[in-house]
Amino acid sequence: MSRYLLSKRDVEDLVVGAAILGTGGGGDPYIGKLMVLQELERGKRVEIVGVDEVDNDSFIVPVAAMGTPVVLVEKIPSGKEALFSLNLLEKYFNKKVEFISPIEAGGVNSTIPLVVGAERGLPVIDADGMGRAFPELQMVTFHLYGIKATPMAISDERGNAAILDTIDNYWAERIARVITVRYGGSAWIAIYPTFGKPYKEAAVRGSISLAIEIGRTLREAKAGGKNPIDALLDLVHGFELFRGKIIDVQRFNIGGFARGEAVIDGLDDYKGSRLTIRFQNENLVAIRDDDIIASVPDLITVLDIETGRPITTERLRYGLRVLVIGIPCNEKWRTPKGLEVVGPKYFGYDIEYVPIERRMKEVGRP
């Protein structure tokens, strides 16, 4: 469908799918779910439109939360905070926004645009700028296509706000990150203002629909007595990377990011092996024993082994029994420019990116 209204069931499915696509980051999906359901219970509507429904000259603004995901668990948002940034950006341009867009396909940032769209009566485009979640503002496909992050608006829950206009998208990240830390670790942004034609070229299409389909696939597989993980991997062309029990988690809030690693001891076929996942808000690299088996920009997602539910990085803890899966990223990230922006070397890992499907052929299962 190119245009449809979200139901409560869609929202339930979407947050599961968004957390899987979010690769551990993007904020707690449960918080986002409550915010959207509250809008629907108030009689508001959330309209999703396909990219091809957008005119070339339509004014589009993505909205999102920025900061350390764990802070959103401690400072529960009302859902209205991002509205202030959107209103401020409209005032700056003296122009009304016609469409809202997600900036990423992960966690709470898949739902913030839905809340804003419901509050303002604006349609939300079925696309985003990542097809997953990444930790920094320039790590979007809009950046790859030359769209500027600024002018952008950034605000907090108290009403503090700023308009940034920077020389490039890397400077937007640096300055906005400092402001976010001063705000207390979380901020609300309206960013990458653009028009329909460049948006349609740059966006990762169908990300909202895919998140809903992932959630629905898991739910229907369980209800039908089928293996939900097999159904999920078939849908996303993914791979099982590891099964085990978390034996250690180290997590530090550094420079506005949740950085750290989780160590997992193998179970079943993986007994005797150990997997280490390193993250910066999102899961970046998976190392089995001494072998890299997956890395950014491909998706690395941790699931509860019993329920199949995704576990965000702030929820990782000792004793959890988990299944780790890998999913190929959008092709836009596999270009030289994409890898320059989000490849393993950008994050400080001295390794060459190898597509996950090739890595699994080379390393495979134990």
Does the pTM exceed 0.85? yes
The tokens for 303 are: 């699931």
Residues 131 and 256 in one domain: no
Q: Of the candidates 167, 185, 207, which is a domain's last residue?
A: 207
Residue 230 lies in a domain: no
Helix axis angle for 8-21 and 29-41, nearest 10°, is 160
Residues 201 and 241 in one domain: no
Residue 221 lies in a domain: no
Q: Which residues contact 9 (CB under 8 A, 6 or more apart)?
A: none
Residues 243 and 336 in one domain: yes
Residue 232 lies in a domain: no
Supply the CATH number for residue 241's domain: 2.40.390
Q: In Å, what is the CA distance from 90 to each residue of 52, 59, 83, 96, 196? A: 24, 10, 11, 6, 17
Give the model's pLDDT for residue 320.
96
In the 8-state DSSP scheme, what is residue 6? P
Residue 226 lies in a domain: no
Residue 222 lies in a domain: no
Q: Please, what are the averages of pLDDT over each run of 10 residues along the chain (366 residues)? A: 92 94 81 91 97 97 85 65 95 98 91 95 98 95 98 94 98 96 92 98 98 96 92 96 96 75 96 95 93 96 89 90 97 98 95 94 70
Q: In Å, what is the CA distance from 172 to each residue of 153, 169, 186, 205? A: 11, 5, 16, 25
319: exposed, middle or buried (Cβ count in 10 Å: 0-12, 13-18, 19+): exposed
Is it true that the peptide bond before 297 is cis, omega within 30 degrees of 0? yes
Q: In Å, what is the CA distance from 335 to each residue of 56, 201, 338? A: 25, 15, 5
Residues 345 and 198 in one domain: no
Give the model's pLDDT for residue 80.
77
User: In 3-state terms, what secondary structure has residue 149?
Assistant: coil
Number of domains in the chain: 2
Residues 318 and 175 in one domain: no
Give the model's pLDDT for residue 108.
85
Residues 120 and 180 in one domain: yes
Give the model's pLDDT for residue 9.
97
Give the model's pLDDT for residue 18.
94
At 25, which amino acid appears?
G
Residue 330 lies in a domain: yes
Q: Which residues contact 348 (CB under 8 A, 6 or more apart)?
A: none
Residues 106 and 199 in one domain: yes
Supply the CATH number for residue 126's domain: 3.40.1610.10
Give the model's pLDDT for residue 262.
96
Give the model's pLDDT for residue 78.
67
Residues 137 and 267 in one domain: no
Instruction: Give the span between the Cα atoms of 358 and 162, in whole angstroms.
Output: 45
Question: How do 3-5 and 47-49 pair as beta strands?
Answer: antiparallel
Instruction: Give the span between the Cα atoms of 265 and 330, in whole angstroms.
Output: 30
Residues 49 and 126 in one domain: yes
Residues 53 and 143 in one domain: yes
Q: Note down the domain range covering 144.
A: 3-207
